[in-house]
Amino acid sequence: MDFLVLGSLSVEEDGQELIHITGKPRQLLALLLLNASYRVSTRSLIAELWDDTPRRCALTTLQSHIFYLRTEFARKLGATRGAIAQDLLQTRDDGYQINIGLASFDLPEFHRLRSSAQTLMNAGDVLGASQVLSEALGLWRGPALRDVDHGRLLRAAVAELDQSRLDTLALFFGTQLDLSRHRAILSELARLVVRHPHHEELHAQFMIALYRSGYRIRALEVFDELRRNMHDDLGIAPSTRIARLRHVIRGAGAAAMDTAGGYIRSRRAFGLGVPS
């Protein structure tokens, strides 16, 4: 089986959707998958499904949803509910745990690739890191769990996942700048800074890519847009790091931004910091 959460929730076998569930059972399965191999307490599951206003029969309804999920897996896998309860969707103390065993799961694979890329970057292998980051980002098929209702636990988990994806994108763009592929990422950075109007790292990367592509005035305008958005929306000013980048691009020091493989080095040289 293949479990997928980086996009729509899907459980597949040989590339075909295995089970079709909706509503709260789908929401329940999503939370169990995000905590795969760990017990999720009944209290947490009830809080996810009904927030702070659980119905009086919430525990019984939760147990019915678990029964339904086990039935669906058993029917599709040609197993008994007892086997599913023992091997896949297990009862653990006062809670439940999904045990994916050797099944494929996109979420831990994403984290593994991200960690591997960071190791390659630390070793100075920018090209290798870029390739692995591209593979990690390729696992995403849209916003995490985009077709699942979110209670407060899923909302927090999905926000964390989306931030991890954005951080990985920033790492990837950094490798592209180090490899002098600034023109290749201009259009995607242009879209992302509109979607994330307060994200300084993406704006900094967009400014550098624009400058290297011969659009110095536009690069300075991007800073002005960031400053205006942060002031109007958050009541704060951009950090000194990106303000320093603007100063560098305006002055003669901007030549440092032109050097092939110079993204990381130039950021350090001008005190801009390095993305992690």
Lowest mean pLDDT among 14-18, 70-74, 113-117, 235-239: 14-18
The pTM of this model reads: 0.87
CB–CB of 205/174 below 8 Å?
yes
Return the pLDDT at 264: 53
What's the 3-state SS for the chain? Answer: CEEECCCCCEEEECCEECCCCCHHHHHHHHHHHHCCCCCEEHHHHHHHHHCCCCCCCHHHHHHHHHHHHHHHHHHHHCCCHHHHHHHCEEECCCEEEECCCCCEEHHHHHHHHHHHHHHHHHCCCHHHHHHHHHHHHCCCCCCCCCCCCCCHHHHHHHHHHHHHHHHHHHHHHHHHHHCCCCHHHHHHHHHHHHHCCCCHHHHHHHHHHHHHCCCHHHHHHHHHHHHHHHHHHHCCCCCHHHHHHHHHHHCHHHHHHHCCCCHHHHHHHCCCCCCC
Q: Which residues contact 62 (CB under 8 A, 6 or more apart)?
A: 28, 42, 45, 46, 49
What is the rounded distance in angstroms from the CA atom of residue 268 to the CA atom of residue 183?
Answer: 22
Residue 276 has pLDDT above 50, yes or no: no
Per-residue pLDDT tens over the stretch 209-263:
999 999 999 999 999 999 999 999 999 999 998 999 999 888 855 555 554 344 5
Lowest mean pLDDT among 52-66, 155-169, 173-187: 52-66
Query: Which whole number is the average pLDDT over 58-83?
Result: 96
> Which CATH topology does 7-103 take?
Arc Repressor Mutant, subunit A (1.10.10)
Query: Which whole number is the average pLDDT over 85-94?
Result: 95
- How many CB atoms are closer than 10 A to CB 266? 22
Return the pLDDT at 14: 86
Residue 273 has pLDDT above 60, yes or no: no
Task: Please check whether the two domains, 7-103 and 181-276, share a CATH topology.
Answer: no
What is the rounded distance in angstroms from the CA atom of residue 85 to the CA atom of residue 96?
Answer: 10
What band does 52 get if pLDDT is binned at 50, 70 and 90? confident
What is the token pair recorded at 270?
């001008």
What is the rounded distance in angstroms from the CA atom of residue 211 to the CA atom of residue 220?
Answer: 9
Return the pLDDT at 56: 84
Q: Long-range contacts for 140-146 (Cβ within 8 Å, ≥24 apart)? A: 140/6, 140/7, 140/110, 140/165, 141/4, 141/6, 141/7, 141/8, 142/7, 142/8, 143/7, 144/5, 144/6, 144/7, 145/5, 145/8, 145/9, 145/30, 146/7, 146/8
Question: Domain ranges in the chain?
Answer: 7-103, 105-179, 181-276
Per-residue pLDDT tens over the stretch 191-201:
999 999 999 99
Domain 181-276 class, CATH top level: mainly alpha
Return the pLDDT at 214: 92
Return the pLDDT at 15: 85
